[in-house]
A and B are shown apart, each in its own frame.
Chain A
Amino acid sequence: MKHIINIAEIKAWMLMAVSGKLIKTKPMLPIGINAPEFELNSTPDQKLKLSELLGKKVILAFYPADWSPVCGDQMTLYNETLKFFSKHNAQLLGISVDSKWCHLAFSKHNKFHFPLLADFEPKGMVAKLYGVYDEKEGECQRALYVIDEQGIIQWNYLSPTGINPGADGILEALEKLDNK
């Protein structure tokens, strides 16, 4: 998994956003490319690099905000489906722009057994990199990626913000990868 943050691309995207005509101009990253490297806090004193998970499948679940009803439902559901994900050697990572302390409280409150990553400073940098930042709301969009053991994006899905996409699409993507 190479470090392939494309600064020029991010700048171009930000300029388009600043022009005010379009709130969301950059599409989700396509299937078949290397998932861009990032490093974010997974706890107040620990950071996690995406490349540390090479050899495992990774599910990136971008969501708008801790504590909001749909996000809570979505992450609560995924907390219950972890055993299905781990059957496919997959690690779930939740990502929002909330701080590491907010994530800690949200995770403890809901007894989550997977990391929540804080895309907090610079705000939404990873969400922007993955084409899932909602410039108007200043939050991540509700979006999913499945990355294979070699760090290649194999599936993506952008959900309407108000709708919990469930776990079936993730499971189907994981099964498809295992049956390749």
Chain B
Amino acid sequence: MSTKLKPAVSSKDHIQGNKNAALELVEYGDYQCGHCGHAYPIIKAVQQEMGNKLKFVFRNFPLSEPHPDAFKAAVAAEAAALQNKFWEMHDIIYENQERLDWKALNFYAEKIGLDAGRFQEDIKINKVTVKVEDDFESGVRSGVNGTPSFFINGEKYDGDWEESELLQYLKSRI
């Protein structure tokens, strides 16, 4: 229904690529969602192809009933962000979606080089949980109706994202 990204991308967001790029791709994703796992390498390929012409942003949209590990995985990624390793955690989670319990998440934290003690503290702090919840609410208000949902330059993208359609669409916007 809504087609506008609310709120707009800001310094609170996790941004990858050229922060000043004219093209901005925002994904609302769920770490336990199979479709998001399928989209993960596609987005990587899109980023590779678009290079510094693209800014990529990830926002959390965990659907906790069908995906009981999604919220904790999102918390783990936000906690990793406090050690400047959001994207490393984001990536390792999507590359190992089949195991997202705390034991696995702790293992991934260790593998990407996080300070384990600090990570254990950070997953419990309120602002990490609030970040995940705020992302979710922003998705609801932006009209996210499933995961993954994409927004390009603030407008909801309802086209296909598989194959090369998303890439072709982005290229057409340059």
Contacts and interface: CB of A to CB of B under 8 A. Distances in A.
Contacts of B136: 80
B140 A168 contact: yes
B100 to A, nearest CB: 18
Contacts of B65: 76, 79-80, 110-112
A166 interface: yes
A112 B66 CA distance: 10
Contacts of B146: 73, 77, 164
How many residues of A sit at the interface, in one of the four size bands? 20 to 34
Contact of B144 (A111, A166, A169, A171): A166
A149 B64 CA distance: 30
Contacts of B174: none
A141 to B, nearest CB: 15
B85 interface: no
Contact of B2 (A159, A164, A166): A166
A84 B145 contact: no
Interface residues of B, number: 15
Contacts of B141: 168, 171
B104 interface: no
A169 B66 CA distance: 23
Interface string A101-126: 00000000011100000000000000
A169 B2 contact: yes
Contacts of B34: none
A86 to B, nearest CB: 14
Contacts of B140: 77, 81, 84, 166-168, 171
Interface in A144-180: 157, 159, 163-169, 171
A155 to B, nearest CB: 12
B167 interface: no
B137 interface: yes
B64 A80 contact: yes
B106 to A, nearest CB: 26
A81 B136 CA distance: 9
B143 interface: yes
A165 B66 contact: no
Nearest to A169: B1
Nearest to A164: B145
A89 interface: no
A155 B146 CA distance: 23
A117 B136 CA distance: 27
B32 interface: no
A76 to B, nearest CB: 6
Interface string A1-15: 000000000000000
Interface of A: 73-74, 76-77, 79-81, 84, 110-112, 157, 159, 163-169, 171
Interface of B: 1-2, 63-66, 136-137, 140-146
Given A84-B140, A165-B1, A168-B142, 16 more contacts: A73-B145, A76-B63, A76-B65, A81-B140, A111-B66, A157-B1, A163-B145, A164-B145, A166-B1, A166-B2, A166-B143, A166-B145, A168-B1, A168-B2, A168-B143, A171-B140
